[in-house]
Structure 1
Amino acid sequence: MTVVTAPEKTPTTPEAPRGARRTVPSLVFNLIALVLGVTIWALTAAAGLADIPGPLSVSSRARELLADGTLTQDALASLQRVLLGFALGTLVAVPVGFLMGWYPVARGLLEPYVQFFRTIPPLALIPLVIVLMGIGETPKIFVIFLAAFMSCVVAAFQGVTGVDRTLIDAARVLGASDRTVFLKVVIPASTPFILVGMRIGLGAAWATVVAAEMIGAQKGLGFEMVHAQTYYDVPTIFVGLISIGVIGLVMDRLLLVAERRLTAWQERR
């Protein structure tokens, strides 16, 4: 009788799981996008398709402004205004958002005003702000404060109202008081919403600073851009735009790092 044996299996290299496959770092794509953007900008300026200065002209003007200290002073002035207005807006918005989300009475009293003023652009209030507060630093910071506040208060409110009710009920079943539920459940669960609102508020603050610095300012990136507009100094305007974009991007990345650290428990894609 012939015995048939099964063919021997040749050892094969186990296939790596999908999650373990090496991926290209996002920084590489960022650098590629930057190179492509500068290249398109240079080609557009060289071909005369738009009446804009090229990268070399703008970088030369930036070196001049850095050499005489103008760009540094303007950037620090704008940064100080944005940081102060943004910080005040966030510090006020988070408690107000929590009150609106946690207490129905506070929600009924405050939400109509928040929703009403949220539809009014902060820039539209500049004439009124000038009449009431003059042309010093206070009106500039106040307009930036409004821009940051309106973005953050809605995010904080949505964060509290969006907390899973099951988590709150489970904590109360285990004997947790309202204070414990708020500190241990509501605040951690709403933190991602608050941080996203802060990032949106930061963008709104930088978007507002240019118009805010038109209120009798003597220095600042927005002031320098408006001043350059008078003399059709387009390279200086580009320097101001790029400076605002770079500083705003760095601040946004710092907020993103803080978001990842504070919400490390959250599942990510």
Structure 2
Amino acid sequence: MTVASADASAKPSVERRPPGAMAGRLRSIGMFAVSIVAGIAVWQLLAMKYGSGLVASPGQTVSAARELAADGTLGNSVIASSRRILIGWGLGLAVGVPVGLLMGQVPFIRRLLDPYIEFFRFIPPVAFVTLAVVWLGIGEASKVVLIFYTAVFIVTLNTIAGVLSVNETKLRAAASLGAGRWQVMRSVVLPSTVPHIVTGARLAMGNSFLTIVSAEIVAAQVGLGALIWTSRNYGRIDWVFVGIIVLGILGFVFDRVLRIVAARVLKRYEVRV
């Protein structure tokens, strides 16, 4: 072997992306941009057709957003709503996952708790807004509890579905190798259930945004729901549009961050989101 060939073989191989990967990424970005531009164009046409009294134009909405941001109203509303959503959603995740794992693994507990899960999950959180305010007051607790109520059943049901979908052959194989209940849970059940948990977490996040508006309309002075309701009282359609659009952007960002974190942290579980 010559020195040149030895040096060439000693050089580390450079990992290259597939030729079509960059083109596919650029295509996705381009489609996203086209979609946004088309949506804004349709919005502008609707505003021109129905007038600013019914539909605020993109320009009016941007001006209203600047106005609300200048006096701190928009920033305070975003922070307040985000805090309530993250706390309530996080509590729902912290309770829903272990309860779902337990119900999925232990038939007795599943039969014991299933009637309550099936009963309460069909009652919308907005039905409990008045009771939450009466029992917990107009402070943060009532909003957080309502969001927790929204999230916990979704996460629990998705976790149960993940546990029950585990291949029976894998469970028997682990048991035949002498694995105990905890080892089976950690090595077989949990890896198979993680994708269902992530899906439940994403669905619960979306429903948390639905709940925060009704909760803040009834019992909050600060928040995006309160901003939308106050705007309605003052007849400021442009403020209403600001609140709605910011809610959508915030939800998009939260979901995207959740997907990125899940894909990286839970990479070994082959989570695809």
Fold similarity call, TM over 0.5: yes
Separation (CA, whole Å) in 1 of partners of 2:259 and 2:175: 33
Q: 1:267 to 1:30 in 2, by over 3 A?
A: same
Q: What is the aligned partner in structure 1 of residue 230 from structure 2?
A: 227
Look up the equivalent residue of 1:24 and give its one-letter code.
Answer: G
> What is the identity percentage for the equivalent residue pairs of Structure 1 and Structure 2?
38
Look up the equivalent residue of 1:82 and give its one-letter code.
Answer: I
Which of these residues, 34, 43, 46, is aligned with residue 44 of structure 1? 46
Separation (CA, whole Å) in 1 of partners of 2:224 and 2:64: 14
Measured after TM superposition, the shift of residue 138 of structure 1 is: 1.2
**Would you say how many aligned residue pairs link Structure 1 and Structure 2?**
251
SS at match of 1:109: helix
Look up the equivalent residue of 1:139 and give its one-letter code.
Answer: S
Separation (CA, whole Å) in 2 of partners of 1:148 and 1:267: 20
SS at match of 1:186: helix
Conserved 8 A contact 1:61-1:235: yes
Alignment of 1:266 onto 2:262 = no
Q: What is the aligned partner in structure 2 of residue 27 from structure 1?
A: 29
Alignment of 1:217 onto 2:220 = yes
SS at match of 1:125: helix
Q: 1:49 to 1:231 in 2, by over 3 A?
A: closer
Alignment of 1:257 onto 2:260 = yes
SS at match of 1:219: coil
Separation (CA, whole Å) in 2 of partners of 1:29 and 1:115: 41
Conserved 8 A contact 2:77-2:223: yes
Alignment of 1:197 onto 2:200 = yes
Alignment of 1:137 onto 2:114 = no
Kindly report the root-mean-square deviation, in angstroms, between the aligned alpha carbons of the 2 structures.
1.9
Alignment of 1:126 onto 2:129 = yes
SS at match of 1:120: coil
Conserved 8 A contact 1:45-1:53: yes
After the TM superposition, which of the residue ranges 257-266 and 242-251 deviates more from structure 2? 257-266
Q: What is the aligned partner in structure 1 of residue 243 from structure 2?
A: 240
Q: 1:222 to 1:193 in 2, by over 3 A?
A: same
Conserved 8 A contact 2:192-2:269: no
Comparing both structures, which one devotes a greater share of its residues to helix?
A: 2
Conserved 8 A contact 1:101-1:160: yes
TM (norm. structure 2) is 0.87
SS at match of 1:175: coil
SS at match of 1:200: helix
Match runs of 1:95-106 below 5 Å: 95-106=98-109
Separation (CA, whole Å) in 2 of partners of 1:250 and 1:267: 19
Q: Runs of 5+ in structure 2 lacking a partner?
A: 1-17
Q: What is the aligned partner in structure 1 of residue 164 from structure 2?
A: 161
Separation (CA, whole Å) in 2 of partners of 1:20 and 1:101: 45
Separation (CA, whole Å) in 1 of partners of 2:234 and 2:90: 35
Look up the equivalent residue of 1:48 and give its one-letter code.
Answer: Y
Q: 1:135 to 1:21 in 2, by over 3 A?
A: closer
SS at match of 2:80: helix
Measured after TM superposition, the shift of residue 238 of structure 1 is: 0.6
CA deviation vs aligned residue, 1:111-142 (integer Å, no higher than 9, x gap): 11011101111111112222222222211111
Q: What is the aligned partner in structure 2 of residue 86 from structure 1?
A: 89
Separation (CA, whole Å) in 2 of partners of 1:212 and 1:48: 30
Conserved 8 A contact 2:195-2:272: no
TM (norm. structure 1) is 0.88
Look up the equivalent residue of 1:41 and give its one-letter code.
Answer: W
Conserved 8 A contact 2:147-2:211: yes
SS at match of 2:222: coil
Measured after TM superposition, the shift of residue 264 of structure 1 is: 5.0
